[in-house]
Homo-oligomer: A and B are copies of this chain.
Amino acid sequence: MADTALFLEHLRAETIKDHASSTPLYLRVQRGIEQAIDSGLVEVSDALPAERELAAQLGVSRVTVRNAVRALVKKGILIQRHGAGTFVASREAPRPQPLASFSEDMRTRGISTNSIWLNRSTGLPSPEECEALEIMPDQLVSRLYRLRFANGKPMCLEHAVLLATILPDPNVIESSLYAWLDAHDRRPTRAIQVVSAQLADASQAHLLSVPTGSACLHVRRRSYLSINKLYKLYKIRITTERALKDEPAPPVDANDKILIERDRPIEFVRAYYRGDLYEHVSELHY
């Protein structure tokens, strides 16, 4: 290690910093180690001080250190080898692809984006949408239909459908749907995509400014909100409604049902990308 003393000093400072705040100790240690690596204080291939040593130097228990290290190992930033030590992993190695929105995806590729709205409305779902969103036919949905541009070129024809309970009014979306969802703490945590190759039909080709019969990538995506976030949103809604309408609390059963389900689909997207301009990246695990 380049300078163990300096590393420990930084870590101690970082660990003490939010002492008054409610940030858990192991998260502060974790962030301290992460920052030390990012700032180059410890370099790739360096061994971290032993867990017992770290614990002693920071004045915390070894369990707490292990808690912090475990998260960083899962992130791929550290590598532990039984009997040998804990090492800083190489930085060049690929990291998992996060669930990014179209705009974010393009931004990371260094491409500017804009879009024009073809339709925004709220209404009843089609049978296909009912199945995709796991809802009954009388539950309202919001629709966003637009043509997206990348670096000024038409790139993608996108049709998004969301639960109206998640997005009550589609007209509030300015350019980035996910930015709005983020701001309202209801951004999907997980998505399943099905990608297939198709030939553009006449109307798609016209909108995308390509010849009919060009190759295009058809992406269908179902996005899920984690049970925890859903529950929190649900609780908030219930409380607010009760406060407003002076109604009694809902029956416990209804509550229980929601608690125990897993992630719930909140968004269903169909998109047609120009085959000459877009490639879809995905990561698989064994």
Contact = CB atoms under 8 A, between A and B. Distances in A.
Interface of A: 44-45, 76, 79, 81, 84, 87-90, 93-94, 96-100, 187-199, 213-217, 224, 227-228, 231, 256, 259-263, 273, 275, 278-286
A262 B215 contact: no
A194 B286 contact: no
> What is the count of identical protomers in the complex?
2
B196 A286 contact: no
19 contacts: A45-B256, A45-B260, A81-B231, A84-B259, A89-B261, A90-B262, A93-B263, A96-B285, A99-B284, A99-B285, A99-B286, A188-B286, A192-B281, A192-B283, A195-B281, A197-B198, A199-B215, A199-B275, A282-B282
A100 B227 CA distance: 27
A99 B96 CA distance: 14
A285 B75 CA distance: 13
Contacts of A196: 217, 275, 278-280
Most chain B CB atoms below 10 A, which of A99, A256, A284: A284
Contacts of A195: 195, 217, 279-282
A205 B45 CA distance: 49
Given A188-B286, A192-B283, A199-B214, 19 more contacts: A76-B262, A79-B227, A79-B262, A81-B231, A84-B259, A87-B259, A89-B262, A90-B262, A97-B284, A98-B285, A99-B285, A100-B284, A190-B286, A193-B284, A195-B217, A195-B282, A196-B280, A198-B275, A282-B283
Contacts of A216: 197, 215
A259 B278 CA distance: 37
Nearest to A256: B45
Contacts of A190: 283-286
Contacts of A273: 197
